[in-house]
Structure 1
Amino acid sequence: MDYITRVQYLNSISRFVDKPIVKVLTGLRRVGKSTLLEMIRYELLSHIKDEHILFLNFESKDGLSINNAQKLVNLVSERFNKDDRIYLFFDEIQLVSEWEKAINVFRVDFNADIYITGSNSKLLSTDISTVLAGRTVNFHIQPFTFKEYKHLLAHLNLTEQALFNAFVQFGGMPFIKYFDLEKEATLKYLMDVYNTVIVKDVLEYNKIRDVDLFNRILRFVIQNIGSTFSALSIVKFLKSEQRKVSVDTVLSYLRMLEEAFVIQKIVREDLIGKKVLKVDEKYYLSDHGFREALGYSNTQSIEKVLENIVLNEMQSRGYEVKIGKVNDLEVDFVAQKHQDKLYIQVSYLLASPSTIEREFKSLSMINDNYPKYVLSMDQLDFSHDGIIHMNIIDFLKSTDSNS
């Protein structure tokens, strides 16, 4: 098979193979969920004979006619005996009405190991909560990390720095490998993916009528990734453009974009009071390449784009990520996985003593022994007082010791 093996996901999923729990893969459209299903089939279940496997993509010709739960149950019942050990792979399951009832039938009446994917978290979570609560495990699939990106484009024989520059500009959507970093074709592809996600998973699904207003809100968020803003500030911005909108409408649109995995909200945590704050959240993109496709230069907003890259990296490694607050200072990311924790500051360059002091100061005020990192594009090592300074590219290439 022609794919880049996504080891971190296969390692996580392998712990649940042949366990009586439904494996749910979620994430942005075209992020590689279908290919990951194939990896599970050929990497984790290569010993299983084909006659015990059903692999069905509901966007394909074979899957298009299976549009409700009863048809899906009939298909599986005709193909397999109930006593057979079978493996069911269903791609874009949300296209089947009442799909959760069919999955529950397979779980109860068949000896089945089940894997499904979907591109809208609201649809999946709502349906799961009604029938399959407590019987699923979710894996959120991200675009490629830089380490995966290097393998994806190894055939171009570019320097590591040139590859990273391209990664900053175009992001990590897997299909861009076919355009060999040709700018016009790559950006057109990213724009087409963006439009498909927005139309199918947000506008059509939520029946949004005022498309112009929605796009203005979305573009505001995309332009201001990694910056603190409120729904009220968006309302004021739109008012300056002669568009009236309520705070509730803005919040509703932001939630819809999160549910379609276009953006993600990162909450803020008071590291001294040990509580999650309900204000000053930040939004980031699932893939920063969409900014460039929409006409916003990623190199001109390099600091925030680097934050977006580091955030996605930590989430791909399985960390839950928050923003940290220490008195009046901010820690870009607090990443936690089980009992392990990292504190991370991201800067483009530590260009002056004042910049170095600013980036290190908040970390120096945290009184625990968890690792603390300042990441930048500098080649010199500015580590001091137990705080590790590291080149961003080296960090992205490093192996997570807590995997």
Structure 2
Amino acid sequence: MIKNVILEQKNRKESILKETYIPRYQTVRLEKMMDSSLIKVVLGPRRAGKSFFATHIFKPKEAAYINFDDENLIKITDYNEIIGSALSVYGNIKYLLLDEVQNLPNWELWVNRLHREGYNLLVTGSNSKLLSKELATHLTGRHLPLELLPFSFKEFLKYRNFDGNSPMGMVTEKKAQLLNYLDLFMRHGGFPELVVHGLKPETYLTPLIDSLLFKDVIRRYKLRKPDHIYNLETYIINNVAKEFTYERLANNLGINSWATVIKYVSFLEEAYLLVILSRYSHKTAQRLKSPKKAYMIDNGLITAKAVHLSRDNGKLMENLVFTELLKQGLRPNIELFYYKTRNDKEIDFVVKRGTDVSELIQVTYDISSPEVSNREIKALLEANEELHAGKLTVLTWDERRQVNKNGTVISFVPLWEWLF
């Protein structure tokens, strides 16, 4: 039986290799990692293209592909049977691609043993903290992690065959097409199957979210009140980029303990549905107790499930900027925060490099009103007085200019230009 499963998966792998592959934003980094004998670990949301990505990167190697989303494999207690079946299907191979390996009980011990036996391993997983904790415990110093999120805007354009190599010099018609694509991307997001096949978020992502909540949260953690998780996820999606406290969340959702809410939110983070962002402060204790903000890992999740935010261009744009900052490699609550000034003016994003704040970013969809423009300028200037950032940026839908206030320059940059 195991051999038949692996044979079917081999056929799927060969089918994947025949499909068109456009390099991802992490391609070069993973290619450089391939020559290392360390275990390569690709983390990211389900359906973000991890398997497709890893399979094509492994193409020059003769690698066995084993997908542990198959329940027939999860039931196996003797893992030697799995390797034995893989060898009988693939021959005497030394490269193994283990997909969604976190589904296998005690996977880290088995992977560690395979590594000691000389196999060159690439594993994928869609539970960030579960894998990170077990990797840190059992594979310290023996693995190279890499995170893969849904398509960036540039990757989205590649699949649309849009040539954006010279965005600054585009003719009017092409610029209009670019903005139409950006609007589509901002609403539908970048999950690969949705982009490639032109699917609607409501059709494709709604059942995906429900499945993730059940398989990766409710079933994994044996939660006795699944409605709490579904209600929490719905509440957060409808309140993206808004400040909240765990105590207020508990009260709004009728959950007795705010500690339970913290635990539930961490489960949603681990499943790569959302990311929690802290308010910046020089004091660590202040960061921990301050209100948080939540962002979804992809804009399509908002359109699929939100009651009203699917038409809120400002919040959609802010969430898109957040996900792009993640793809640039910024780590939330280490290098990326939001901020409130002493006078309660909010800064959408604070970028920290080393010990210094390097950039303050405001996101504004409609900057046409002088009142809105002045509000953003005042907030940035006030925050800059407190944080001493080197760069002040207002991301707009399609307006470019610079404002100089007593020697401090604020750059208004179109979103499409910034995404390039």
With normalisation by structure 2, the TM-score equals 0.81
Aligned partner of 2:97 in structure 1 is 89
Given that residues 27 and 142 in structure 1 are in contact (C-alpha distance below 8 angstroms), is that contact kept between their aligned partners in structure 2? yes
> Which amino acid letter does the alignment assign opposite residue 59 of structure 1?
D
Deviation track 1:236-270 (CA, whole Å, cap 9, x = no partner) reads 223xxxx3421111111111101111111112212
Aligned partner of 1:334 in structure 2 is 350
Task: Report the CA distance shift for 1:360/1:8 in structure 2 as closer, same or farther (over 3 A).
Answer: same
Report whether the alignment pairs 1:387 with 2:402: no
What is the alpha-carbon distance in structure 1 between the residues aligned to residue 219 and residue 74 of structure 2? 18
Given that residues 24 and 53 in structure 2 are in contact (C-alpha distance below 8 angstroms), is that contact kept between their aligned partners in structure 1? no
SS at match of 1:283: strand
Question: How many residue pairs are counted as aligned between the two chains?
Answer: 377
The residue correspondences of 1:172-187 to structure 2 (distance < 5 A) are 172-180=190-198, 183=200, 186-187=201-202
Task: Report the CA distance shift for 1:298/1:193 in structure 2 as closer, same or farther (over 3 A).
Answer: same
> Which amino acid letter does the alignment assign opposite residue 28 of structure 2?
N
SS at match of 1:8: coil
What is the alpha-carbon distance in structure 1 between the residues aligned to residue 78 and residue 302 of structure 2? 37
Aligned partner of 2:41 in structure 1 is 24
SS at match of 2:242: coil
Task: Report the CA distance shift for 1:96/1:362 in structure 2 as closer, same or farther (over 3 A).
Answer: same
> Which amino acid letter does the alignment assign opposite residue 275 of structure 2?
Q
How far the C-alpha of 1:364 sits from its partner, in A, is 2.6
Aligned partner of 1:401 in structure 2 is none
Given that residues 73 and 102 in structure 1 are in contact (C-alpha distance below 8 angstroms), is that contact kept between their aligned partners in structure 2? no
What is the alpha-carbon distance in structure 2 between the residues aligned to residue 337 and residue 37 of structure 1? 30
How far the C-alpha of 1:76 sits from its partner, in A, is 6.1
Report whether the alignment pairs 1:193 with 2:208: yes
> Which amino acid letter does the alignment assign opposite residue 95 of structure 2?
Y
Gapped regions of structure 1 (runs ≥ 5): 399-403
How far the C-alpha of 1:298 sits from its partner, in A, is 4.0
Deviation track 1:144-185 (CA, whole Å, cap 9, x = no partner) reads 111111222338x9922221221122111110135435x4xx
Aligned partner of 2:184 in structure 1 is 166
Aligned partner of 1:11 in structure 2 is 28
SS at match of 2:243: coil
Task: Report the CA distance shift for 1:13/1:68 in structure 2 as closer, same or farther (over 3 A).
Answer: farther
Aligned partner of 1:109 in structure 2 is 117
How far the C-alpha of 1:362 sits from its partner, in A, is 3.4
Report whether the alignment pairs 1:322 with 2:337: yes
> Which amino acid letter does the alignment assign opposite residue 126 of structure 1?
K
Report whether the alignment pairs 1:230 with 2:245: yes
The residue correspondences of 1:136-155 to structure 2 (distance < 5 A) are 136-154=143-161
What is the alpha-carbon distance in structure 1 between the residues aligned to residue 160 and residue 302 of structure 2? 21
> Which amino acid letter does the alignment assign opposite residue 413 of structure 2?
M
Aligned partner of 1:302 in structure 2 is 313
What is the alpha-carbon distance in structure 1 between the residues aligned to residue 179 and residue 308 of structure 2? 18
Report whether the alignment pairs 1:291 with 2:302: yes
SS at match of 2:250: helix
1:266 to 274, 277, 294: 277
Given that residues 187 and 316 in structure 2 are in contact (C-alpha distance below 8 angstroms), is that contact kept between their aligned partners in structure 1? no
Gapped regions of structure 2 (runs ≥ 5): 1-17, 163-173
What is the alpha-carbon distance in structure 2 between the residues aligned to residue 126 and residue 332 of structure 1? 30
Given that residues 96 and 120 in structure 2 are in contact (C-alpha distance below 8 angstroms), is that contact kept between their aligned partners in structure 1? yes
How far the C-alpha of 1:231 sits from its partner, in A, is 1.2
How far the C-alpha of 1:100 sits from its partner, in A, is 1.2
| Worse-matched range after superposition: 373-382 or 200-209 | 373-382
- Measured on the aligned residues, the alpha-carbon RMSD in Å equals 2.8
Deviation track 1:333-358 (CA, whole Å, cap 9, x = no partner) reads 12346699432111111132232122
1:54 to 56, 64, 68: 64
Aligned partner of 2:138 in structure 1 is 131
How far the C-alpha of 1:282 sits from its partner, in A, is 0.8
What is the alpha-carbon distance in structure 2 between the residues aligned to residue 316 and residue 307 of structure 1? 14
Given that residues 31 and 142 in structure 1 are in contact (C-alpha distance below 8 angstroms), is that contact kept between their aligned partners in structure 2? yes
Task: Report the CA distance shift for 1:371/1:66 in structure 2 as closer, same or farther (over 3 A).
Answer: farther
Aligned partner of 1:277 in structure 2 is 287
How far the C-alpha of 1:9 sits from its partner, in A, is 0.6
Task: Report the CA distance shift for 1:254/1:371 in structure 2 as closer, same or farther (over 3 A).
Answer: same
> Which amino acid letter does the alignment assign opposite residue 283 of structure 1?
A
Aligned partner of 2:393 in structure 1 is 373
Given that residues 359 and 389 in structure 2 are in contact (C-alpha distance below 8 angstroms), is that contact kept between their aligned partners in structure 1? no
What is the alpha-carbon distance in structure 2 between the residues aligned to residue 219 and residue 61 of structure 1? 29
Deviation track 1:81-128 (CA, whole Å, cap 9, x = no partner) reads 6xx8x3221111112222112211122121x32110011123313322
The residue correspondences of 1:68-83 to structure 2 (distance < 5 A) are 69-75=79-85
Deviation track 1:200-241 (CA, whole Å, cap 9, x = no partner) reads 111111111212222112111111110000111112223xxx
How far the C-alpha of 1:75 sits from its partner, in A, is 4.6
Given that residues 302 and 348 in structure 1 are in contact (C-alpha distance below 8 angstroms), is that contact kept between their aligned partners in structure 2? yes
